[in-house]
Amino acid sequence: MMSSASIDEQAAVLALTNATPHRWHDTASIIASSHSALRLIEGDLSRLDERQAAHATDVLARLKPAHLDQARELIGRTQANGTRLLTVLDEDYPLNLYLVFNRPPFLWVRGDLIEADERAVAVVGRRQAGPEGLALAARLAHGLAEAGITVVSGLARGIDTAAHTAALAAGGRTIAALGTGILSRTYPAENAELDKRIADSGAVVSQFWPDQPPTRNTFPLRNAVTSGLAIGTLIIEAGPAGGTKTQATITQKQGRRLFVPHALHEQNEWVHHYMRRGGVTVVHGIDDIVTIVDKLVDVPRPQPSIPH
């Protein structure tokens, strides 16, 4: 397991991310490969391959002394609000997320992430879902929670809200991956109480700067975390385009299982395209998901080890 990173290391992770104009996951990769963000800031690129070294050189050229001071201040401010920072150098950074190529360099967390959350399924779908879709999301999320599987979703209207609410009603764990900063106002506003309930018994996480407002770009980025936190993603309802289909694409790129209800499989041609790629399970009932999750969790996976 990884050792817990010091505050100086965490601040260095934030500083390097602040100096990264795009593709934050490439910065996460060089930090993880280096085993130390401070070592990178000191100019030690010895653990990096050629492509990583080129990225590190670009980031270091943009790094300013103020970035470290700003990062330390930010850590102190968020801790005062009951928020915890996890970086790719921390032992509590979620294993499922650590193992995907597009992991973020850090997560802000309210609540607790636990080892049992490795057995997780993301449940996602349309914001404007119909009654049948909402009922299916609630039924399957409730069943997952009863089976001891953590339900991951994005706190959006529609399917996300139904999934979180059902998992809580079942007495299970649920994680909300936000498309905003952890200290920003809850989006949508009507889910403020749900946000609090999730943090009380599970976790609310964000990969963005704490005060980041919602934008058109933050939600597609959030989809990668929603998928990455889970063993697989269950698509409840989806149109021919939109965020849910984007998440399906991300799920497959991450090498994670895609679960598709039988009705969605029958009604959408794009689902057949995804099935031809492989890694798709058509779901007739909750057992179809639980069986696959149990098999995937039992497969040995690499355990990160970062010496300090």
Q: Give the per-residue pLDDT at 305.
A: 60
Instruction: Give a yes or no: residue 143 inside a domain.
Output: yes
Q: Which of 87, 103, 124 is the last residue of a domain?
A: 87
* Residues 6 or more apart in contact with residue 234 via CB below 8 angstroms: 121, 122, 123, 124, 140, 259, 260, 261, 283, 289
99, two tokens: 């193992």
Tell whether the model's pLDDT for residue 36 goes beyond 80. yes
Same domain, yes or no, for 74 and 125?
no
Residues 137 and 123 sit within 8 Å (Cβ to Cβ): yes
Same domain, yes or no, for 40 and 163?
no
Q: Give the per-residue pLDDT at 2.
A: 42
Q: Give the per-residue pLDDT at 240.
A: 63
Same domain, yes or no, for 27 and 125?
no
Residue range(s) defining the domain that contains residue 132: 115-298
DSSP 8-state assignment for residue 240: S
Q: Which of 68, 87, 106 is the last residue of a domain?
A: 87
Instruction: Give a yes or no: residue 236 inside a domain.
Output: yes
Q: Hey, how many other C-beta atoms are within 10 angstroms of the C-beta on 225?
A: 28
pLDDT (tens digit per residue) in 147-202: 999 999 999 999 999 999 999 999 999 999 999 999 999 999 999 999 999 999 99
With 0-12 / 13-18 / 19 or more C-beta atoms within 10 angstroms meaning exposed / middle / buried, residue 66 is exposed
Give the number of C-alpha atoms closer than 13 A to the C-alpha of residue 238, restricted to the C-beta side.
Answer: 28
Same domain, yes or no, for 61 and 164?
no
Tell whether the model's pLDDT for residue 308 goes beyond 80. no
Instruction: Give a yes or no: residue 101 inside a domain.
Output: no
Q: What is the CA radius of gyration of the chain?
A: 19
pLDDT (tens digit per residue) in 248-283: 899 999 999 999 998 765 666 677 777 888 889 999
With 0-12 / 13-18 / 19 or more C-beta atoms within 10 angstroms meaning exposed / middle / buried, residue 106 is buried
Q: Give the per-residue pLDDT at 272.
A: 76
Same domain, yes or no, for 186 and 281?
yes
What gap in Å lies between CA 165 and CA 89, rounded to an integer? Answer: 32
User: What is the rounded average pLDDT of the residues 80-86?
Assistant: 94
User: What is the rounded average pLDDT of the residues 87-115?
Assistant: 97
Instruction: Give a yes or no: residue 98 inside a domain.
Output: no
Helix (H) or strand (E) holding 246: helix 243-253
How many domains does the structure of the chain reveal?
A: 2
Instruction: Give a yes or no: residue 194 inside a domain.
Output: yes
Going by pLDDT thresholds of 50, 70 and 90, the confidence category of residue 1 is very low
Same domain, yes or no, for 11 and 151?
no
Going by pLDDT thresholds of 50, 70 and 90, the confidence category of residue 23 is very high
What gap in Å lies between CA 4 and CA 10, rounded to an integer? Answer: 10
Instruction: Give a yes or no: residue 107 inside a domain.
Output: no
Same domain, yes or no, for 121 and 267?
yes
Instruction: Give a yes or no: residue 93 inside a domain.
Output: no
Same domain, yes or no, for 216 and 148?
yes
* pLDDT, averaged across the chain: 92
User: What is the rounded average pLDDT of the residues 14-27?
Assistant: 96
Same domain, yes or no, for 58 and 141?
no
Instruction: Give a yes or no: residue 110 inside a domain.
Output: no
Q: Give the per-residue pLDDT at 306.
A: 52
pLDDT (tens digit per residue) in 142-159: 999 999 999 999 999 999
Same domain, yes or no, for 55 and 133?
no
Same domain, yes or no, for 228 and 127?
yes
Same domain, yes or no, for 37 and 152?
no
**CATH classification of the domain holding 280:** 3.40.50.450
